[in-house]
Structure 1
Amino acid sequence: MLSVKTKLLNHLTKNGEKKTSEKILFKSFKKLQKDSSKPTKDILKTALVLSTPVFKVHVIENKKQRKKNRKIKKIPYFIVNNSSRISLAIKFIMKSINNKFKPLYSKLQNEILLTSQQKGDSINFKKELQKQVLTNKKYFNFYKWK
Protein backbone atom coordinates (compact mmCIF):
# COMPACT_ATOMS: atom_id res chain seq x y z
CA MET A 1 0.00 0.00 0.00
CA LEU A 2 1.39 3.38 -0.99
CA SER A 3 1.69 6.17 1.51
CA VAL A 4 -0.08 9.48 1.01
CA LYS A 5 3.20 11.22 0.27
CA THR A 6 4.06 8.87 -2.60
CA LYS A 7 0.53 9.15 -3.98
CA LEU A 8 0.83 12.94 -3.95
CA LEU A 9 4.17 12.67 -5.71
CA ASN A 10 2.72 10.33 -8.32
CA HIS A 11 -0.14 12.72 -9.04
CA LEU A 12 2.21 15.69 -9.23
CA THR A 13 4.73 14.00 -11.54
CA LYS A 14 4.48 14.88 -15.22
CA ASN A 15 6.75 13.55 -17.97
CA GLY A 16 8.79 11.55 -15.45
CA GLU A 17 10.08 14.65 -13.61
CA LYS A 18 10.03 13.19 -10.11
CA LYS A 19 12.64 15.56 -8.68
CA THR A 20 10.67 18.65 -9.65
CA SER A 21 7.49 17.18 -8.16
CA GLU A 22 9.38 16.45 -4.92
CA LYS A 23 10.63 20.05 -4.83
CA ILE A 24 7.11 21.38 -5.38
CA LEU A 25 5.69 19.15 -2.65
CA PHE A 26 8.37 20.06 -0.10
CA LYS A 27 8.10 23.79 -0.86
CA SER A 28 4.34 23.65 -0.40
CA PHE A 29 4.76 21.77 2.89
CA LYS A 30 7.28 24.35 4.11
CA LYS A 31 4.92 27.18 3.19
CA LEU A 32 2.06 25.38 4.92
CA GLN A 33 4.17 25.04 8.05
CA LYS A 34 5.00 28.75 8.02
CA ASP A 35 1.44 29.91 7.44
CA SER A 36 -0.37 27.77 10.00
CA SER A 37 0.11 26.84 13.62
CA LYS A 38 -0.97 23.20 13.11
CA PRO A 39 1.45 20.58 11.81
CA THR A 40 1.31 20.02 8.07
CA LYS A 41 0.58 16.33 8.50
CA ASP A 42 -2.65 17.11 10.36
CA ILE A 43 -3.68 19.75 7.82
CA LEU A 44 -3.08 17.35 4.96
CA LYS A 45 -5.03 14.58 6.70
CA THR A 46 -8.04 16.82 7.33
CA ALA A 47 -7.93 18.11 3.74
CA LEU A 48 -7.90 14.56 2.38
CA VAL A 49 -10.65 13.39 4.73
CA LEU A 50 -12.89 16.31 3.82
CA SER A 51 -12.41 15.87 0.07
CA THR A 52 -12.72 12.06 -0.13
CA PRO A 53 -15.86 10.98 -1.95
CA VAL A 54 -17.84 7.88 -1.01
CA PHE A 55 -19.41 7.34 -4.42
CA LYS A 56 -18.15 7.59 -7.97
CA VAL A 57 -20.12 7.89 -11.20
CA HIS A 58 -19.41 5.48 -14.04
CA VAL A 59 -20.61 6.61 -17.49
CA ILE A 60 -21.97 3.91 -19.79
CA GLU A 61 -22.86 4.73 -23.37
CA ASN A 62 -25.02 2.48 -25.56
CA LYS A 63 -22.96 2.24 -28.74
CA LYS A 64 -25.39 0.06 -30.67
CA GLN A 65 -27.66 3.03 -31.34
CA ARG A 66 -27.01 5.90 -33.70
CA LYS A 67 -24.90 8.77 -32.44
CA LYS A 68 -27.82 11.16 -32.07
CA ASN A 69 -30.00 8.66 -30.23
CA ARG A 70 -27.36 7.21 -27.91
CA LYS A 71 -28.42 6.99 -24.33
CA ILE A 72 -25.86 7.71 -21.66
CA LYS A 73 -26.30 6.11 -18.26
CA LYS A 74 -24.44 7.52 -15.31
CA ILE A 75 -24.32 4.71 -12.82
CA PRO A 76 -23.15 5.60 -9.30
CA TYR A 77 -21.15 3.04 -7.40
CA PHE A 78 -19.67 2.80 -3.95
CA ILE A 79 -15.88 3.08 -3.65
CA VAL A 80 -14.87 0.18 -1.42
CA ASN A 81 -11.09 0.54 -1.47
CA ASN A 82 -9.66 3.24 0.83
CA SER A 83 -6.59 3.80 -1.33
CA SER A 84 -8.75 4.56 -4.37
CA ARG A 85 -10.78 7.01 -2.24
CA ILE A 86 -7.59 8.79 -1.23
CA SER A 87 -6.30 8.91 -4.78
CA LEU A 88 -9.63 10.34 -5.97
CA ALA A 89 -9.40 13.02 -3.26
CA ILE A 90 -5.89 13.88 -4.43
CA LYS A 91 -7.19 14.06 -8.01
CA PHE A 92 -9.86 16.53 -6.86
CA ILE A 93 -7.21 18.66 -5.18
CA MET A 94 -4.98 18.56 -8.28
CA LYS A 95 -7.96 19.36 -10.52
CA SER A 96 -8.80 22.43 -8.48
CA ILE A 97 -5.29 23.88 -8.98
CA ASN A 98 -5.68 25.85 -12.19
CA ASN A 99 -4.47 29.39 -11.56
CA LYS A 100 -1.68 30.11 -14.05
CA PHE A 101 -0.29 33.21 -12.37
CA LYS A 102 1.04 31.70 -9.15
CA PRO A 103 3.76 29.06 -8.81
CA LEU A 104 2.49 25.50 -8.40
CA TYR A 105 3.75 25.04 -4.84
CA SER A 106 1.81 28.07 -3.58
CA LYS A 107 -1.34 26.93 -5.41
CA LEU A 108 -1.02 23.49 -3.83
CA GLN A 109 -0.48 25.01 -0.41
CA ASN A 110 -3.48 27.33 -0.76
CA GLU A 111 -5.75 24.53 -1.93
CA ILE A 112 -4.73 22.21 0.91
CA LEU A 113 -5.34 25.01 3.43
CA LEU A 114 -8.72 25.93 1.95
CA THR A 115 -9.80 22.32 1.74
CA SER A 116 -8.90 21.72 5.37
CA GLN A 117 -11.16 24.68 6.21
CA GLN A 118 -13.98 23.30 3.98
CA LYS A 119 -13.72 26.19 1.52
CA GLY A 120 -11.70 24.80 -1.39
CA ASP A 121 -12.70 23.92 -4.94
CA SER A 122 -12.05 20.23 -4.29
CA ILE A 123 -14.92 20.23 -1.79
CA ASN A 124 -17.12 21.77 -4.49
CA PHE A 125 -16.10 18.92 -6.84
CA LYS A 126 -17.07 16.44 -4.14
CA LYS A 127 -20.46 18.13 -3.62
CA GLU A 128 -21.16 18.12 -7.37
CA LEU A 129 -20.34 14.41 -7.48
CA GLN A 130 -22.73 13.77 -4.59
CA LYS A 131 -25.46 15.67 -6.47
CA GLN A 132 -24.87 13.54 -9.57
CA VAL A 133 -25.14 10.41 -7.47
CA LEU A 134 -28.43 11.58 -5.95
CA THR A 135 -29.91 12.48 -9.34
CA ASN A 136 -28.90 9.12 -10.82
CA LYS A 137 -29.84 6.95 -7.86
CA LYS A 138 -32.44 5.20 -10.00
CA TYR A 139 -29.52 3.29 -11.54
CA PHE A 140 -28.52 1.78 -8.20
CA ASN A 141 -30.34 -1.40 -9.20
CA PHE A 142 -27.50 -2.03 -11.71
CA TYR A 143 -25.02 -2.08 -8.85
CA LYS A 144 -24.28 -5.41 -7.22
CA TRP A 145 -24.13 -4.94 -3.46
CA LYS A 146 -21.64 -7.21 -1.76
Structure 2
Amino acid sequence: MRITFVALMTLLFVSCNSSEKKKELSIVNSSEEKINQQNPKLKESMVRGEAIYNDFCVSCHMPNGKGVPKAFPPLASSDFLMNNREKSLKAIKYGQSGEITVNGQKYNSVMSPLGLEDQEIADVMNFITNSWGNTNDMFTTADEVSKIEP
Protein backbone atom coordinates (compact mmCIF):
# COMPACT_ATOMS: atom_id res chain seq x y z
CA MET A 1 0.00 0.00 0.00
CA ARG A 2 2.78 2.40 0.94
CA ILE A 3 4.66 1.65 -2.31
CA THR A 4 1.51 2.37 -4.32
CA PHE A 5 1.03 5.68 -2.49
CA VAL A 6 4.66 6.73 -3.08
CA ALA A 7 4.44 5.71 -6.75
CA LEU A 8 1.18 7.64 -7.18
CA MET A 9 2.62 10.76 -5.51
CA THR A 10 5.78 10.56 -7.63
CA LEU A 11 3.70 10.24 -10.80
CA LEU A 12 1.55 13.18 -9.75
CA PHE A 13 4.62 15.31 -8.94
CA VAL A 14 6.35 14.46 -12.23
CA SER A 15 3.26 15.14 -14.33
CA CYS A 16 2.59 18.48 -12.59
CA ASN A 17 6.22 19.51 -12.83
CA SER A 18 6.32 18.49 -16.49
CA SER A 19 3.18 20.46 -17.34
CA GLU A 20 4.60 23.54 -15.58
CA LYS A 21 7.77 23.33 -17.66
CA LYS A 22 5.72 22.90 -20.83
CA LYS A 23 3.61 25.91 -19.84
CA GLU A 24 6.73 28.05 -19.33
CA LEU A 25 8.19 27.08 -22.68
CA SER A 26 5.05 27.03 -24.74
CA ILE A 27 3.54 29.79 -26.78
CA VAL A 28 -0.20 30.22 -26.40
CA ASN A 29 -1.76 30.41 -29.85
CA SER A 30 -3.98 33.47 -29.93
CA SER A 31 -4.01 36.90 -31.49
CA GLU A 32 -1.81 38.01 -28.58
CA GLU A 33 0.71 35.24 -28.09
CA LYS A 34 2.30 34.89 -24.66
CA ILE A 35 6.00 34.21 -24.78
CA ASN A 36 8.89 34.38 -22.34
CA GLN A 37 12.13 36.21 -22.96
CA GLN A 38 14.12 32.98 -23.30
CA ASN A 39 12.10 31.88 -26.33
CA PRO A 40 14.13 31.79 -29.58
CA LYS A 41 11.17 33.20 -31.52
CA LEU A 42 11.20 36.36 -29.39
CA LYS A 43 14.99 36.63 -29.49
CA GLU A 44 15.01 36.46 -33.31
CA SER A 45 12.26 39.08 -33.53
CA MET A 46 14.15 41.34 -31.12
CA VAL A 47 17.35 41.11 -33.20
CA ARG A 48 15.41 42.17 -36.29
CA GLY A 49 13.61 44.84 -34.25
CA GLU A 50 16.84 46.29 -32.92
CA ALA A 51 18.14 46.74 -36.48
CA ILE A 52 14.90 48.49 -37.46
CA TYR A 53 15.06 50.64 -34.32
CA ASN A 54 18.63 51.67 -35.17
CA ASP A 55 17.58 52.58 -38.73
CA PHE A 56 14.34 54.44 -38.00
CA CYS A 57 13.89 55.31 -34.32
CA VAL A 58 17.26 55.95 -32.70
CA SER A 59 17.59 59.58 -33.85
CA CYS A 60 14.58 60.65 -31.76
CA HIS A 61 14.33 58.02 -29.03
CA MET A 62 18.13 57.69 -28.60
CA PRO A 63 20.29 54.53 -28.39
CA ASN A 64 19.35 54.07 -24.73
CA GLY A 65 15.60 54.53 -25.39
CA LYS A 66 15.45 57.56 -23.09
CA GLY A 67 14.25 59.98 -25.78
CA VAL A 68 14.88 63.71 -25.62
CA PRO A 69 13.33 65.53 -22.64
CA LYS A 70 10.36 67.71 -23.58
CA ALA A 71 10.73 66.75 -27.26
CA PHE A 72 10.63 62.97 -27.84
CA PRO A 73 9.23 60.61 -25.22
CA PRO A 74 11.26 57.83 -23.66
CA LEU A 75 10.66 54.22 -24.56
CA ALA A 76 12.87 53.07 -21.67
CA SER A 77 10.73 52.13 -18.67
CA SER A 78 7.81 53.80 -20.45
CA ASP A 79 4.42 53.59 -18.78
CA PHE A 80 2.70 54.73 -21.99
CA LEU A 81 4.37 52.07 -24.12
CA MET A 82 3.63 49.28 -21.70
CA ASN A 83 0.05 50.33 -20.82
CA ASN A 84 -1.15 51.40 -24.28
CA ARG A 85 -0.28 48.51 -26.58
CA GLU A 86 -2.72 49.34 -29.39
CA LYS A 87 -1.96 53.08 -29.32
CA SER A 88 1.77 52.31 -29.38
CA LEU A 89 1.38 49.99 -32.36
CA LYS A 90 -0.80 52.57 -34.08
CA ALA A 91 1.87 55.24 -33.53
CA ILE A 92 4.55 53.04 -35.07
CA LYS A 93 2.31 52.10 -38.00
CA TYR A 94 0.61 55.42 -38.79
CA GLY A 95 2.61 58.03 -36.87
CA GLN A 96 1.60 60.03 -33.83
CA SER A 97 0.50 63.59 -33.25
CA GLY A 98 -1.20 65.26 -30.36
CA GLU A 99 -0.42 65.33 -26.69
CA ILE A 100 0.51 62.18 -24.82
CA THR A 101 1.79 61.71 -21.28
CA VAL A 102 4.74 59.41 -20.69
CA ASN A 103 6.03 58.78 -17.17
CA GLY A 104 4.20 61.90 -15.97
CA GLN A 105 5.72 64.21 -18.62
CA LYS A 106 3.58 65.68 -21.42
CA TYR A 107 4.82 65.43 -25.03
CA ASN A 108 3.24 67.07 -28.04
CA SER A 109 5.57 66.41 -30.95
CA VAL A 110 4.88 64.70 -34.24
CA MET A 111 6.06 61.23 -35.16
CA SER A 112 5.77 60.68 -38.90
CA PRO A 113 4.69 57.32 -40.30
CA LEU A 114 7.79 55.26 -40.95
CA GLY A 115 6.48 53.15 -43.83
CA LEU A 116 7.31 49.87 -42.12
CA GLU A 117 5.76 46.52 -43.03
CA ASP A 118 3.58 44.79 -40.43
CA GLN A 119 6.34 42.26 -39.59
CA GLU A 120 8.86 45.08 -39.14
CA ILE A 121 6.46 46.87 -36.79
CA ALA A 122 5.94 43.66 -34.81
CA ASP A 123 9.70 43.14 -34.56
CA VAL A 124 10.44 46.68 -33.39
CA MET A 125 7.58 46.47 -30.87
CA ASN A 126 9.01 43.21 -29.52
CA PHE A 127 12.41 44.89 -29.23
CA ILE A 128 11.28 48.09 -27.49
CA THR A 129 8.86 46.36 -25.12
CA ASN A 130 11.64 44.02 -23.96
CA SER A 131 14.52 46.51 -23.66
CA TRP A 132 15.69 49.26 -21.29
CA GLY A 133 13.71 48.09 -18.28
CA ASN A 134 10.59 47.07 -20.20
CA THR A 135 9.40 43.47 -19.90
CA ASN A 136 6.56 42.14 -21.98
CA ASP A 137 5.26 38.59 -22.23
CA MET A 138 2.85 39.45 -25.04
CA PHE A 139 4.51 38.55 -28.33
CA THR A 140 3.57 41.00 -31.08
CA THR A 141 2.83 39.38 -34.45
CA ALA A 142 2.42 40.75 -37.95
CA ASP A 143 -1.15 39.46 -37.86
CA GLU A 144 -1.90 41.59 -34.78
CA VAL A 145 -0.32 44.65 -36.44
CA SER A 146 -2.35 44.09 -39.63
CA LYS A 147 -5.56 44.57 -37.60
CA ILE A 148 -4.55 48.01 -36.29
CA GLU A 149 -6.74 50.63 -37.96
CA PRO A 150 -5.84 54.32 -38.42
User: TM-score per shorter chain, which class?
Assistant: under 0.3
Q: Which has the higher helix share?
A: 1
